[in-house]
Amino acid sequence: MGVTNPRDLTHVHMYGGEAPFFEGLGQGKLLGTRCENQNCDANGSIFIPFRIHCPDCLGKNTIVDMTETAQKGATVHTFMITERTGAFNTLPKPIRFV
């Protein structure tokens, strides 16, 4: 059961520093980020999901395209399917999240 309240309302959600990740998804790409701080224990680590800053040194991460690597041998460890699309019920059902 959903809530249906038709309104003339435009809500703009800003992705901020995560915008490249979502733009990449829209283009069929999987983008991650990598810490390149030589003094950090996480140097060279690739983060998926996308992280703007390294959790260890808090330095800004570099964006890396992981699409080809994921296509060659990625493993899905969890996923979710939902029948609830949100307040305005505008998305097709079911919705799959990986």
Q: Which amino acid is at 94?
A: P
User: What's the pTM value of the predicted model, to 2 decimals?
Assistant: 0.64
Q: Which of 16-20, 21-25, 89-93 comes out lowest in average pLDDT?
A: 89-93
Query: Is residue 90 predicted with pLDDT exceeding 90?
Result: no
Per-residue pLDDT tens digits for 20-60:
998 998 999 999 999 999 999 999 999 988 899 999 999 99
Q: What is the pLDDT of residue 9?
A: 72
Pairing of strands 46-47, 95-97: unpaired
Q: Over pLDDT 90: what percentage of the chain?
A: 46
Could you tell me which of 50, 58, 52, 46 has the C-alpha nearest to residue 17?
Answer: 52
